[in-house]
Amino acid sequence: MKVTILGASGFIGKHLLSGIKDVCGSSLRRDGWQNDLKSSVVILNLVGKAHDHKGTATEQDYYYANLELTKQIFQVFVSSSAKLFIHISSLAALEEFESNRPLTEENNCHPESWYGSSKRAAEEWLLDQELPSDKKLVILRPTMVHGPGDKGNLGLLYKLISRGIPYPLSSFDNSRSFISISNFCFFIEQIIENYDKLESGIYHIADDEPISTNEIIEVIKKVTNKKVMSISLPKYLVRMIAKVGDVIPIPLNTKRLKKMTSDLLVSNQKIKAALGIEKLPLTAKEGLERTIRSFGEAKS
């Protein structure tokens, strides 16, 4: 079974290329990319724009990368002999900041950023398309994915603790859903092998257990063998500092504080039930330990 990944040069794509059989990568930057899809059975779309570290991206940039390019790829899929289209969306299409109850696929969407809104627009467009009877569409909403090569917030926490700098927000006791790249790849493998069990539609993928930021800090301390104390600054003081950050460019502002300290829980039960999965290969803590160890290995 040939699987073609579009957008395979990123963090997730590289892991899928090395971890799944009969997979090849393709790029929309190359002329004739459409020909790469003709002999595919499965097309996996990772193309999109997520982070704007330089702060120069416009709303149009997000909608072009996350919606218009998705339209082009899907239209090639419909005219090809491929049977399954896996589109990687984002939890941001549903919720970007906070939920103290596990989010399901039936919850109402209210994205707040250009990224989340453009991802939701792509979902809506895909769901509105008429599929041939022999084809299926699976839209995946992953929570934050982490693993070796990850350049997200976990890496920033690792740098903080590994340098002996105390974590200042331990007074906030939150719980969030993540997914390790190992569990992500496992879900993709199971979907490819058993897509006949799935109905076309949206599915959430996440680790089986949520984990708190304070627990993540303890995992980092354990892996790095660092005895770093945590500082419990009063919540009111932290919130005041964050409000200052909304006006003055300091590392903390109200949006960043919300992402770091609020609950964001996600249910993975729909896809597990459909595929007959009882338990994922790695627990949330085991996946985090692998990721944290990889940071140290990359450093050395």
List, in order of start, the domains of the chain with CATH numbers.
3-299 (3.40.50.720)
pLDDT score at 251: 79
Question: How far is the C-alpha of 267 from the C-alpha of 259, rounded, in Å?
Answer: 18
Angle between helix 284-299 and 181-193 (nearest 10) = 120
pLDDT score at 299: 64
Question: How far is the C-alpha of 280 from the C-alpha of 21, rounded, in Å?
Answer: 19
Element (DSSP H or E) covering residue 189: helix 181-193
Please tell me the pTM assigned to this model: 0.92
pLDDT score at 91: 97
- DSSP per position, 195-207: GGGPPSEEEEE--
> What is the number of alpha carbons within 13 Å of residue 221 lying toward its C-beta?
14
Provide the residue-wise pLDDT of the chain in tens; the chain has 300 residues. 699 999 988 899 999 998 888 888 888 888 888 888 888 999 999 999 987 666 788 999 999 999 999 999 999 999 999 999 999 999 999 999 899 999 999 999 999 999 999 999 999 999 999 999 999 999 999 999 999 988 777 888 888 888 888 888 888 889 999 999 999 999 999 999 999 999 999 999 999 999 998 899 999 999 988 888 878 889 999 999 999 999 998 878 888 888 888 999 999 999 999 999 999 999 999 999 999 999 888 765
